[in-house]
């Protein structure tokens, strides 16, 4: 069998990787393949040879913790195949265990020792069950993390810093580096101290893949109308016209504003005009009412969905629309049969928007030019969200509304 071959930037990343690192590459850069190649080399395999060089047998047990979707679609099986590894014992060349499971089940593996863990789609943020299980696993095993967007703030790095032994626990990090605002009603970080040290520690664990894309992304903002009179009425009266009751908080007001602008007929017309130019498209949306609206207007297309209700595959006909809810489908899958994504409405999170865009920007896509259409109005809410995304931040409802 032919040996394992990688691209130069992947080989360079493997040389710089170590236990406890974060392999950071843009969506579609081949992080999964690179991570398995690192495991392969760590266990005696040789890359770049004409014939396959086996690892020491048995190599360490391999556990891959990923999204439920990647597990269910067996996406990792394809990455394992060049290394003659498999989750099926009768196919696996070696006598080790290879397990691919979702983050929801990570706690099951807390007591595993002397194995190798690949944590895909970085989820170790905060201090919940997943983080506690991760920290316990990290003490007794080799491990690496994969992420296209490793951290927005220093707080996001706390679990990885603790797992690497830079700090004893979250409290020590907080004591040394975080100053909370004195005038906030809830714990709000005012600033970080000694960020030079934090930068050094981050650079020590972050392995960036020098990935040069061959695709060209074309982003186009398509401005649509909205009912400014109703929008002003809601703003002035704080009244929900859909439930016919007063609005209780900032989140409720933002939801009504967004529903008013997202349901506008001009947005539907703009979507159909884009679909006339691109007969196969992935459409990202936020809310269930948008899903129903989209299904009603896309009657001439084969429609499939990926959301909390349905997990359907990408259509295969000549004219199709794949409706994907941001939170359910921003990561963990890809599509190389279309060159078009339409963002019917904006998501609050820059990270989710970037991950969503990466669903078609893959190494093996046959398309050179990729098209992204952002439907948005010039309403206050849409403008504020767009401004936050442009600054690579997450939109904050309470800060915007000042309820």
- The average pLDDT across 123-135 equals 84
Residues with Cβ < 8 Å from 67, sequence gap 6 or more?
A: 102, 103, 120, 121, 331, 332
Q: Is the pLDDT of residue 389 over 70?
A: yes
List the domain boundaries for the chain. 8-208, 216-401
Give the pLDDT score at 379.
Answer: 96
Preceding amide of 58 cis, omega within 30: yes
Q: What is the CA radius of gyration of the chain?
A: 23
Residues with Cβ < 8 Å from 346, sequence gap 6 or more?
A: 353, 374, 376, 382, 385, 386, 389
**In terms of pLDDT, which residue wins out, 341 or 332?**
341
pLDDT, tens digit (0-9, with 9 covering 90-100), for 196-209: 999 999 999 999 98
Beta strands in 267-319 (DSSP E): 280-285, 302-306
Q: Is the pLDDT of residue 1 over 80?
A: no
pLDDT, tens digit (0-9, with 9 covering 90-100), for 138-149: 999 999 999 877
pLDDT, tens digit (0-9, with 9 covering 90-100), for 375-384: 999 999 999 9
| 37 contacts 6 by C-beta, under 8 angstroms | yes
Please give the share of the chain, as a percent, with pLDDT higher than 70: 99
Q: Is the pLDDT of residue 3 over 80?
A: no
Q: Classify residue 227 by its DSSP letter.
A: -
- 337 three-state secondary structure: coil
pLDDT, tens digit (0-9, with 9 covering 90-100), for 273-313: 999 999 999 999 999 999 999 999 999 999 999 998 888 99
pLDDT, tens digit (0-9, with 9 covering 90-100), for 83-121: 999 999 999 999 999 999 999 999 999 999 999 999 987
Give the pLDDT score at 73.
Answer: 82
How many other CB atoms are found less than 10 A from the CB of residue 122? 20
Q: What's the CA gap between 375 and 371, in Å, rounded?
A: 13
Give the pLDDT score at 2.
Answer: 63
| 66 contacts 77 by C-beta, under 8 angstroms | no
Give the pLDDT score at 122.
Answer: 65
Give the pLDDT score at 30.
Answer: 85
Question: Which of 203, 202, 110, 211 lies closest to 156, judged by CA?
Answer: 202
pLDDT, tens digit (0-9, with 9 covering 90-100), for 318-328: 999 999 999 99
Average pLDDT score, the chain = 91
How many other CB atoms are found less than 10 A from the CB of residue 107? 15
pTM of the model as a whole:
0.72
- The average pLDDT across 364-368 equals 89
Length of the chain: 403
Helix (H) or strand (E) holding 198: helix 195-205
Helix (H) or strand (E) holding 292: helix 288-297
- Residue for token pair 């979507």: 271
The CATH fold of domain 8-208? Rossmann fold (3.40.50)
Q: What's the CA gap between 93 and 90, in Å, rounded?
A: 8
Tell me the CATH number of domain 216-401, given options 1.10.10.10, 1.20.1630.10, 3.40.50.300, 3.20.20.140.
Answer: 3.40.50.300
Residues 22, 135, 38: CA angle, nearest 5 degrees: 35
**Domain 216-401 in the same topology as domain 8-208:** yes
Give the pLDDT score at 75.
Answer: 85
| 135 contacts 170 by C-beta, under 8 angstroms | no
| 102 contacts 65 by C-beta, under 8 angstroms | yes
Give the pLDDT score at 384.
Answer: 96
Q: Classify residue 129 by its DSSP letter.
A: H
């Amino acid at each position: 069998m032919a040996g394992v071959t990688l691209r130069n930037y992947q080989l360079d990343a493997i040389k710089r990787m170590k236990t406890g690192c974060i392999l950071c590459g843009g969506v579609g850069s081949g992080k999964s393949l690179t991570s398995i190649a690192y495991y392969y080399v760590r266990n005696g395999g040789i890359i770049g040879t004409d014939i396959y060089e086996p690892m020491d047998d048995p190599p360490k047990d391999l556990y891959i913790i990923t999204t439920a979707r990647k597990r269910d679609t067996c996406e990792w099986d394809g990455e394992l195949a060049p290394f003659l590894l498999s989750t099926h014992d009768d196919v696996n060349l070696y006598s080790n265990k290879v397990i691919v499971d979702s983050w929801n089940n990570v706690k099951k593996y807390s007591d595993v020792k002397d194995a190798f863990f690949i944590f895909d789609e970085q989820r170790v943020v905060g201090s919940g069950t997943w983080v506690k299980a991760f920290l316990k696993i990290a003490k007794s095993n080799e491990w690496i993390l994969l992420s296209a967007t490793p951290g927005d703030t220093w707080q996001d790095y706390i679990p990885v810093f603790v797992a690497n032994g830079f700090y004893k626990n979250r409290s020590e990090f907080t004591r040394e580096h975080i100053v909370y605002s004195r005038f906030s009603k809830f714990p709000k970080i005012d600033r970080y101290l000694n960020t030079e040290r934090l930068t050094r520690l981050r650079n020590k664990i972050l392995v960036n893949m020098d990935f040069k894309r061959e695709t060209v992304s074309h982003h186009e903002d398509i401005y649509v109308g909205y009912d400014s009179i109703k929008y002003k009425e809601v703003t002035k009266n704080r009244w929900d016209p859909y439930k016919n009751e007063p609005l209780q908080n900032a989140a409720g007001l933002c939801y009504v504003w967004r529903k008013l602008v997202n349901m506008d007929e001009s947005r539907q017309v703009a979507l159909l005009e884009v679909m006339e130019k691109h007969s196969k498209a992935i459409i990202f949306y936020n809310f269930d009412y948008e899903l129903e609206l989209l299904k009603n207007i896309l009657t001439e297309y084969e429609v499939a969905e990926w959301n909390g209700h349905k997990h359907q595959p990408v259509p295969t006909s000549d004219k199709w629309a794949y409706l994907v809810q941001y939170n359910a489908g921003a990561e963990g899958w890809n599509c190389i049969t279309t060159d078009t994504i339409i963002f019917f409405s904006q998501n609050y999170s820059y990270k989710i928007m970037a991950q969503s865009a990466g669903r078609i920007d893959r190494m093996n896509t046959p398309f050179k030019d990729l098209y992204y259409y952002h439907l948005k109005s010039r309403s206050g809410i849409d403008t504020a969200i767009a401004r936050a995304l442009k600054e690579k931040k997450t939109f904050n409802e309470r800060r915007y509304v000042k309820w």
